[in-house]
């Protein structure tokens, strides 16, 4: 059916920013451990969905490990993508490397067709191709998105050139987000740029291969009488691994599992003392080193200020419920804070964002003296009338609630 016929049938078109995401190596993860993979994925998906909502986006399609969302703003879509990757990275840090559920994200601005609640067309397809080009934990964007967000967000980009994607008629200017302010470095492709130009060089490469093949035919004819004994290196390549190789592989796997068990135990050990009473940081009137009072927002759309209150951990089989006092600063639509943890040398960090409607997304984690991260908590809630109320859970399942008031 021609495009004009489709339009005549009442199919609506619009310009939208599409975010496409899926899990890298999802089939392998499910094959190795279905239940734990699904549990981790569901926890990640909750964070994903809340951040999309916080940035005024809409998830319009999911299938298996794939998620598609639309935004009216390219800036909000990219900001959402980077915050998703930052939040999921800290959650994945608590898992063994081979068990991490990492999303790849692509963002494209383009024309789409509306079919009920779903969106179709090249605008969506390009976003999916960009997602496939991204590294696990990374974000790739199209040139149309890049043009919209340039100088509007504090990001560093890696140009990947004009990439030819499967079933996309025209090359797509592609950029990987290499770094985001406050979120750190994101994984970005190292060889994508070369791959993008591979099709252009293919005719030349093919000609060279023909010449090589011609010379190789003569070489093969002159040597076809040789026995396998004359090719010891080739014989070594095809010899199957012996029992000692299998033994070494088993020892390596056992070591990996033991390391994962130790990491889990360390995370629980760090979580336990955090349930104890922690003195709040001094307020502005108590110390010259206290958190600075944030500047007033001339728009009047946010509730900037110093917020204090309790964070409470729920009970588990090994730990009792307990609360402690803490504080954080809201500056415009960002929230941040930190305080010393009960474990010597460890620090708790809190960061998050607030929408104009008052929706709050908060990420909290402990960092040990050696730089490694402890339990991670994601909380979601509301900011209203100078009060923050949020609930969530640690990656290990322990519940956490926050109830703070403006100082």
Q: What pLDDT is stored for residue 251 in this prediction? A: 58
Q: Can you read off the two tokens belonging to residue 164?
A: 């030819």
Identify whether the C-beta of residue 309 lies closer than 8 Å to the C-beta of residue 403.
yes
- Per CATH, 3-190 and 273-406 having the same topology is answered no
H or E stretch including 265? helix 243-274
CA distances from 329 to 237, 287, 325, 378 (A): 61, 16, 14, 18
Residues in the chain: 407
Question: In the structure, what pLDDT confidence band is assigned to residue 395 with cuts at 50, 70 and 90?
Answer: low
Residues 6+ apart with CB under 8 A from 46: 378
Give residue-wise pLDDT tens across range 72-113: 999 999 999 999 998 999 899 889 999 999 999 999 999 999
Q: What pLDDT is stored for residue 77 in this prediction? A: 97
| 195 or 43, higher pLDDT | 43
| Residues 358-383, mean pLDDT to the nearest whole number | 83
Q: Is the pLDDT of residue 330 over 70?
A: yes
Q: What are phi and psi of 304, to 5 degrees?
A: -60, 150
Q: Is the pLDDT of residue 44 over 90?
A: yes
| Residues 302-318, mean pLDDT to the nearest whole number | 85
| 93 or 251, higher pLDDT | 93
Diameter over CA atoms, the chain: 92
Q: Which of 200, 204, 202, 146 is nearest to 171 (CA)?
A: 200
Residue with the two structure tokens 């600075």: 292
Q: Which of 49, 137, 28 is nearest to 93 (CA)?
A: 137
Please tell me the distance from the alpha carbon of residue 393 to that of residue 267, in angstroms, as a whole number: 14
Q: What pLDDT is stored for residue 367 in this prediction? A: 81
Q: Is the pLDDT of residue 297 over 90?
A: no
Q: What pLDDT is stored for residue 253 in this prediction? A: 53
Q: What pLDDT is stored for residue 315 in this prediction? A: 85
Identify whether the C-beta of residue 349 lies closer than 8 Å to the C-beta of residue 365.
yes
| Residues 222-234, mean pLDDT to the nearest whole number | 35
Domain ranges of the chain: 3-190, 273-406
Q: Is the pLDDT of residue 268 over 60?
A: no
| Residues 314-337, mean pLDDT to the nearest whole number | 85
Give residue-wise pLDDT tens across range 113-126: 999 999 999 999 99
CATH classification code of 3-190: 3.30.70.1230
Highest mean pLDDT among 120-134, 252-266, 333-347: 120-134
Query: What b/e readout covers 290-306, taking b as 16+ CB neighbours within 10 angstroms?
Result: ebeebeeeeeeebbbeb
CATH classification code of 273-406: 2.40.128
Q: Is the pLDDT of residue 252 over 90?
A: no
Q: What pLDDT is stored for residue 90 in this prediction? A: 84
Query: What b/e readout covers 121-130, taking b as 16+ CB neighbours within 10 angstroms?
Result: bbbbbbbbbb
Say if pTM beats, i.e. exceeds, 0.85.
Answer: no
Give residue-wise pLDDT tens across range 178-224: 998 767 788 988 754 444 444 444 444 445 444 444 544 443 444 44
Where in 41-166 does DSSP place strands (E)? 58-63, 66-71, 103-115, 118-120, 139-142, 155-163
How is the chain split among helix, strand and coil, in percent rounded to 5?
35, 35, 30
Q: Can you read off the two tokens belonging to residue 354?
A: 């607030």
Q: Is the pLDDT of residue 267 over 80?
A: no
Residues of the chain with pLDDT > 90: what percent?
A: 44
Q: What angle do CA 339, 340, 343 make, to 5 degrees?
A: 145
Q: Is the pLDDT of residue 5 over 50?
A: no
Please tell me the distance from the alpha carbon of residue 333 to that of residue 360, in angstroms, as a whole number: 9
| 265 or 43, higher pLDDT | 43
Q: What pLDDT is stored for residue 288 in this prediction? A: 30
Where in 154-217 does DSSP place strands (E)? 155-163, 172-180, 184-185
Mean pLDDT of the chain: 76
Q: What pLDDT is stored for residue 248 in this prediction? A: 52
Query: What b/e readout covers 197-211, taking b as 16+ CB neighbours within 10 angstroms?
Result: eeeeeeeeeeeeeee
């Amino acid at each position: 059916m021609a495009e004009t016929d489709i339009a005549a049938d009442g199919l609506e078109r619009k310009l939208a920013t599409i975010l496409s995401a899926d899990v890298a190596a999802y089939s392998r993860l499910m094959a190795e451990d279905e239940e734990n993979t699904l549990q981790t994925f569901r926890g990640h998906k909750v964070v994903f969905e809340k951040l999309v909502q916080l940035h005024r986006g809409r998830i319009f399609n999911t299938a298996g490990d794939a998620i598609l969302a639309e935004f009216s703003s390219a800036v909000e879509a990219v900001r959402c993508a980077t915050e998703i990757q930052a939040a999921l990275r800290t959650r994945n840090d608590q898992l063994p490397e081979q068990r991490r559920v990492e999303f790849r994200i692509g963002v494209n601005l383009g024309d789409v067709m509306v079919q009920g609640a779903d969106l179709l067309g090249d605008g969506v397809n390009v976003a999916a191709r960009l997602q496939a080009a991204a590294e696990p934990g990374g974000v790739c964007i199209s040139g149309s998105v890049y043009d919209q967000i340039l100088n509007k967000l504090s990001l560093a980009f890696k140009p990947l050139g004009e990439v030819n994607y499967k079933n996309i008629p025209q090359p797509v200017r592609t950029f990987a987000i290499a770094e985001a302010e406050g979120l750190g470095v994101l994984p970005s492709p190292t060889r994508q740029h070369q791959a993008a130009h591979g099709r252009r060089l293919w005719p030349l490469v093919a000609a060279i291969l023909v010449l090589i093949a011609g010379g190789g035919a003569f070489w093969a004819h002159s040597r076809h009488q040789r026995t396998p004994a004359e090719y010891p290196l080739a014989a070594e390549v095809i010899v199957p691994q012996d029992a000692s190789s299998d033994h070494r592989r088993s020892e390596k796997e056992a070591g990996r599992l033991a390391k994962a068990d130790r990491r889990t135990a360390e995370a629980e050990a760090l979580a336990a003392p955090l349930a104890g009473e922690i003195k709040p940081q001094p307020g502005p009137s108590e110390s010259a080193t206290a958190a600075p009072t944030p500047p007033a927002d001339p728009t009047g759309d946010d509730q900037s200020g110093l917020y204090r209150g309790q964070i409470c951990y729920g009970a588990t089989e090994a730990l009792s419920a307990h609360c402690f006092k803490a504080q954080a600063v809201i500056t415009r639509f960002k929230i941040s804070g930190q305080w010393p943890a009960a474990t010597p040398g460890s620090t708790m960090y809190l960061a998050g964002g607030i929408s104009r409607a008052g929706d709050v997304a908060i990420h909290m984690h402990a960092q040990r003296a050696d730089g490694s991260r402890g339990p991670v908590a994601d909380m979601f809630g509301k900011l209203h009338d100078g009060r923050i109320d949020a609930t969530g859970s640690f990656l290990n399942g322990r519940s956490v609630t926050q109830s703070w008031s403006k100082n």
